[in-house]
Chains A and B, each alone.
Chain A
Amino acid sequence: MFPNARRDIAFPIVGSIVLFLVLFGGGLLYQTILGNGSAERLVTTMLIDAIIVIGIQIYIGNTGILSFGHIGFGAIAGYVFAVYAISPEEKLKRIPTAPFGLTDTQVSPTVAILIAVAVTVVFAVIVGIGLARSGAQSGSVAATVITLALLFVTHEVAKSWPELTGGNRGGISFGIGESLKGRLPILGLLFAAMLVARLYGQSRSGKLAVAAREDNLAARAMGVNPLVQQMVALLLSVVVVSGGSSLRVWQIGSILPDRFFFDYAMLTLVMLIVGGRNSVTGAVLGVAVMTAARELARRLGQDGFEVFGIGLDGAPLDWVFRENLNSVVLGLAMVAFMIWRPTGILEDWEFDQWLYKTVGRGDEVEPERLTELDSVSETAFVASGINVSFGGFKALTDAGITANGGEIVGIIGPNGAGKTTFVNVITGMVEPQSGVFSIDEENLSGKASFDLSRSGLVRTFQNLRLFGALTVRENIEVASLVASEHRAGRAVRDVDSLMLEAGLWDHRDRRARELDYGNSRRLELARAAAMAPSFMLLDEPTSGMSDSESITMIEQVRHMAATVGAGVIVIDHDLGFITGISDRIYVFDQGEVIADGTPEEVQANPYVQAAYLGSAAIT
């Protein structure tokens, strides 16, 4: 579950403790200085908001899907909590005709929270299936609207089912003196939320979800099924949000439909966005910053006040500093951050990971070098009889190749020859009209792309698809995590050693988006190798490289393939590169395989020259 105990368990725990102490300590300090009841209430509210915002972060941060619906889940939890925890006498006043005999039921608040969480999780599963069906992925608009609809459904139902909810005006409330007084449950849940969020972020599921957030297509090509990881993130986040929402109801002492609606969704989202949605530290920072900003605005909106002896009299600026200013501040903060810093203050900076890098890692020794494996010669990739046409245009006619284990097979051909279509077919992106492809006689046609890579055919991309926000090491780790589960029986090589072999050791902690071009290409290669593939499919690996870079790439591809004992199928435009690297070459033209053989045979073949230069002489 956790690739590295120190980095992924110990430091997140330490980090959560520090984060918790800073937030709570800051709050305590503030309320001690001011020493009044309203300051105390403000701090309590901030702590509860922090739980809910951290809960939302688990979903939005790790999946990249914008959700308004978490406050809708909060509403469900809040109402379930309320109807279970409130005393029958109070319920008789507000909801005497509640269905399911709920009027007479009462359980302790702790049990009520557990029931609330359980019920909400059931709803989350249903919504999660809907999101998955809609093809949710990072930034998808339809998914966001589904979550928005959830927010409105819960609000609408809460308003128009007064028998259960007390409706829009009455709501349901605890009797005086029964709402939450101490802070212990809040502090406990807050710490638990931080811990869960951080540990999840470092866990296998969290890493795979983030990989899919960064690049859905590439994650699927690395054997990740994003929908599964999104569901895990959703359920975890809903557990935290519904716990926090129950506490919110308990602390306020009552619930009304508008308490869990647009305004609260906006508030929690702004907190998350301002701090940095991709980081738990950011979420906590956002809660603190926005609580402070809103409080400042609220006070300015009153009759002005004193800060450090300087009297701020609102009167001359009365047109700005007035009641409800804090709502405008929220909207302005949102738009301003979207325009100038959409990733938030901290972007994806995480306190415990920074701590780990600075003091926790100690001196890392260079890992051991890997010996090249003997090629597994009995495996074979076979594609045959593949036909694809788009409309009337025949993109592939009876195309096919065979590649044996440990062999490097090149595919060349001019633009429009059908190479790309062929790659799309054997990576599961285009369905052929006919034809099959298989590894070791295991038929792969019709499989989803994440299943293909789990079966041993792992691809790279022509236009580089790395997980930009993840470090070099994490990029490889993602593939390695999938491999250790789905590539049993193959040698899954050590992540650190693979980085060394790929020449990336010195860059191990840099984020992939900061790498230069050559290193990015090497990382893509190493990431594919970490999948312990039977065959690596390299799509234009020298695209954008100079001649000399292409030549060094030959050795790198050979070495990485040998390190994991994989065969290679490589498509490239550069004939020099292809002839230099390949054991055998297939030549595509006009959607057909027009020649195959050793590099020498292919180069000497007049048809190949014709295909490349378009000589009219030979037809």
Chain B
Amino acid sequence: MLEVSGLTTAYGAINALRDANLTVGEGEVVGLIGPNGAGKTTLLGSIAGLLPISAGAIHFDGADITSTAPEKILRSGLALVPEHRRIFSDMTVEENLKIGGITTKASERAELLDEMVELFPVLRDKWDTPAGYMSGGEAQQLAIARALMSKPKLIMMDEPSLGLAPILVDLVFELLDTLRSQGRTILVVEQNATRMLEVADRAYVLRSGEVVADGTGRELLERSDLFDTFVGG
């Protein structure tokens, strides 16, 4: 469904990528792990069209989306939940969700809003509050719901558990399970490698801008040198 080949960002840029390859099949949950600074966020940002790339190609759903404007990529069915959530904090929860669904028809949007409330009950309680007043966990759910509002074929999440208390981290991973059971295709960047590998169908390990290992979640978990691969010790 998503195919990234030979992706390279400008040499010398911060957190650059070097010849990264990655595929995501329909219905898969794919993890992308690695220490910070490895280029995980750069990779997602490049796929989403936010960052310039210097070489390589990105194909999504049969179409070439290399160097396409982010709004066009979103419209082709590929959504990104950005790092640090980046919710619109002065806008209400409802408005945030509506923005997420800006590409859908008004009637459909109303249905999607109901669907999101069902999936994330906490949002209903905060419906008319500015999103800036939400706690980290609530804001993360809003960020994911906002991305789902565009009915993406594939949703990418950048560190959804970042800065959350352990109990909320559990919630995020349960959520991943829920979304998987709905048959959604997901690509997740996670710092919490072990938890990620337990959930993921497949995963890639990224370090210093390069993909250094990949396999199913189980395979990677059982590798004894995972820690070393991970941090280069």
B42's nearest neighbour on chain A, judged by CB, is A544
Residues of the B chain whose Cβ atoms lie less than 8 Å from the Cβ of A572: 37
Q: Which one of B13, B159, B191, B231 lies within 8 Å of A575 (CB-CB)?
A: B231
Question: Assuming the A-B contacts A517-B11, A546-B209, A619-B166, are A613 and B37 also in contact, with contact meaning beta carbons closer than 8 angstroms in the complex?
Answer: no
Interface of B is mostly: loop
Task: Assess whether A616 is in contact with B35, with CB atoms less than 8 Å apart.
Answer: no
Task: Assess whether B208 is in contact with A550, with CB atoms less than 8 Å apart.
Answer: yes
Residues of the A chain whose Cβ atoms lie less than 8 Å from the Cβ of B16: 544
Q: How far, in angstroms, from A519 to B11 measured CA to CA in the complex? A: 13
Q: How would residues 575 to 619 of chain A score, 1 for a CB under 8 Å from any chain B CB and 0 otherwise?
A: 111010000000000000000000000010000010011111101
Residues of the A chain whose Cβ atoms lie less than 8 Å from the Cβ of B11: 516-517
Q: Which one of A546, A603, A613, A619 lies within 8 Å of B193 (CB-CB)?
A: A613
The interface on chain B, measured as residues whose beta carbon lies within 8 A of the other chain's beta carbons, has a size of: 35
Near A by CB (< 8 A), chain B positions 154-203 give 159, 162-163, 166, 190-196, 198
A591's nearest neighbour on chain B, judged by CB, is B163
Residues of the B chain whose Cβ atoms lie less than 8 Å from the Cβ of A614: 190-196
Does A318 have its Cβ within 8 Å of any Cβ on chain B? no
Task: Assess whether A612 is in contact with B37, with CB atoms less than 8 Å apart.
Answer: no
Chain B nearest CB, measured from A150 CB (Å): 34
B33's nearest neighbour on chain A, judged by CB, is A613
Residues of the B chain whose Cβ atoms lie less than 8 Å from the Cβ of A416: 159, 162-163, 191
Q: How would residues 410 to 448 of chain A score, 1 for a CB under 8 Å from any chain B CB and 0 otherwise?
A: 000011100000000000000000000000000000000
Task: Assess whether A517 is in contact with B12, with CB atoms less than 8 Å apart.
Answer: yes
Residues of the A chain whose Cβ atoms lie less than 8 Å from the Cβ of B196: 614
Does A500 have its Cβ within 8 Å of any Cβ on chain B? no
Near A by CB (< 8 A), chain B positions 198-233 give 198, 207-210, 226-227, 230-233
Q: Which one of A545, A546, A575 lies within 8 Å of B35 (CB-CB)?
A: A575
Q: Which one of A392, A464, A516, A574 lies within 8 Å of B37 (CB-CB)?
A: A574
Does B18 have its Cβ within 8 Å of any Cβ on chain A? yes
Residues of the A chain whose Cβ atoms lie less than 8 Å from the Cβ of B13: 517, 544
B12's nearest neighbour on chain A, judged by CB, is A517
Question: Assuming the A-B contacts A415-B191, A462-B14, A616-B194, are A573 and B37 also in contact, with contact meaning beta carbons closer than 8 angstroms in the complex?
Answer: yes
Chain A nearest CB, measured from B109 CB (Å): 30
Residues of the A chain whose Cβ atoms lie less than 8 Å from the Cβ of B52: none
Does B27 have its Cβ within 8 Å of any Cβ on chain A? no
Task: Assess whether B14 is in contact with A415, with CB atoms less than 8 Å apart.
Answer: no
Q: Which one of A392, A463, A575 lies within 8 Å of B14 (CB-CB)?
A: A463
Does B107 have its Cβ within 8 Å of any Cβ on chain A? no
A464's nearest neighbour on chain B, judged by CB, is B14
Does A393 have its Cβ within 8 Å of any Cβ on chain B? yes
Task: Assess whether A573 is in contact with B233, with CB atoms less than 8 Å apart.
Answer: no
Residues of the B chain whose Cβ atoms lie less than 8 Å from the Cβ of A516: 11-12
Residues of the A chain whose Cβ atoms lie less than 8 Å from the Cβ of B141: none
Task: Assess whether B14 is in contact with A615, with CB atoms less than 8 Å apart.
Answer: no
Q: Which one of B14, B35, B135, B210 lies within 8 Å of A612 (CB-CB)?
A: B35
Q: How far, in angstroms, from A572 to B36 measured CA to CA in the complex? A: 9
Chain B nearest CB, measured from A472 CB (Å): 16
Chain B nearest CB, measured from A604 CB (Å): 11
A517's nearest neighbour on chain B, judged by CB, is B12
Chain A nearest CB, measured from B123 CB (Å): 18
Task: Assess whether B208 is in contact with A547, with CB atoms less than 8 Å apart.
Answer: yes
Does A90 have its Cβ within 8 Å of any Cβ on chain B? no
A612's nearest neighbour on chain B, judged by CB, is B231
Residues of the A chain whose Cβ atoms lie less than 8 Å from the Cβ of B230: 612-613
A543's nearest neighbour on chain B, judged by CB, is B37
Does B25 have its Cβ within 8 Å of any Cβ on chain A? no
Task: Assess whether B37 is in contact with A540, with CB atoms less than 8 Å apart.
Answer: yes
- Could you say which of A543, A603, A613, A615 has the most chain B C-beta atoms within 10 Å of its C-beta? A613
Residues of the B chain whose Cβ atoms lie less than 8 Å from the Cβ of A576: 231-233
A420's nearest neighbour on chain B, judged by CB, is B36
Task: Assess whether A414 is in contact with B36, with CB atoms less than 8 Å apart.
Answer: yes
A599's nearest neighbour on chain B, judged by CB, is B233
Residues of the A chain whose Cβ atoms lie less than 8 Å from the Cβ of B15: 543-544
Near B by CB (< 8 A), chain A positions 514-529 give 516-517, 520
Task: Assess whether A573 is in contact with B193, with CB atoms less than 8 Å apart.
Answer: no
Chain A nearest CB, measured from B220 CB (Å): 11
B166's nearest neighbour on chain A, judged by CB, is A619
Task: Assess whether A544 is in contact with B14, with CB atoms less than 8 Å apart.
Answer: yes
Chain B nearest CB, measured from A397 CB (Å): 13
Chain A nearest CB, measured from B219 CB (Å): 15
Q: How would residues 88 to 119 of chain B score, 1 for a CB under 8 Å from any chain A CB and 0 otherwise?
A: 00000000000000000000000000000000
Task: Assess whether A547 is in contact with B12, with CB atoms less than 8 Å apart.
Answer: no
Residues of the A chain whose Cβ atoms lie less than 8 Å from the Cβ of B190: 614
Q: How far, in angstroms, from A540 to B36 measured CA to CA in the complex? A: 10
Q: How far, in angstroms, from A462 to B11 measured CA to CA in the complex? A: 16
Near A by CB (< 8 A), chain B positions 1-31 give 11-16, 18
Residues of the A chain whose Cβ atoms lie less than 8 Å from the Cβ of B195: 614, 616
Q: How far, in angstroms, from A393 to B210 measured CA to CA in the complex? A: 33
Does B130 have its Cβ within 8 Å of any Cβ on chain A? no
Residues of the B chain whose Cβ atoms lie less than 8 Å from the Cβ of A575: 35, 231-233
Residues of the A chain whose Cβ atoms lie less than 8 Å from the Cβ of B152: none
- Could you say which of B11, B207, B227, B233 has the most chain A C-beta atoms within 10 Å of its C-beta? B233
Task: Assess whether B208 is in contact with A415, with CB atoms less than 8 Å apart.
Answer: no
Task: Assess whether B233 is in contact with A579, with CB atoms less than 8 Å apart.
Answer: yes
Residues of the A chain whose Cβ atoms lie less than 8 Å from the Cβ of B12: 516-517, 520, 544
Does B56 have its Cβ within 8 Å of any Cβ on chain A? no
Question: Assuming the A-B contacts A416-B162, A516-B12, A612-B227, are A547 and B193 also in contact, with contact meaning beta carbons closer than 8 angstroms in the complex?
Answer: no
B210's nearest neighbour on chain A, judged by CB, is A546
Does B49 have its Cβ within 8 Å of any Cβ on chain A? no
- Could you say which of B15, B36, B166 has the most chain A C-beta atoms within 10 Å of its C-beta? B36
B162's nearest neighbour on chain A, judged by CB, is A416
- Could you say which of B11, B208, B230 has the most chain A C-beta atoms within 10 Å of its C-beta? B208
- What 5 A-B pairs come out closest when comparing CB atoms? A614-B192, A517-B12, A575-B231, A576-B232, A573-B37
Residues of B within 8 A of A (CB): 11-16, 18, 35-38, 135-136, 159, 162-163, 166, 190-196, 198, 207-210, 226-227, 230-233
- Interchain residue pairs with CB less than 8 A apart (22): A392-B135, A414-B191, A415-B36, A415-B162, A416-B162, A516-B11, A516-B12, A517-B12, A544-B14, A544-B15, A545-B208, A546-B209, A547-B232, A573-B37, A575-B35, A575-B233, A603-B233, A612-B227, A612-B230, A613-B230, A614-B193, A617-B194
Other contacts beyond A609-B227, A615-B194: 9, CB < 8 A = A414-B191, A464-B14, A516-B11, A520-B12, A544-B15, A546-B210, A547-B232, A573-B37, A619-B166
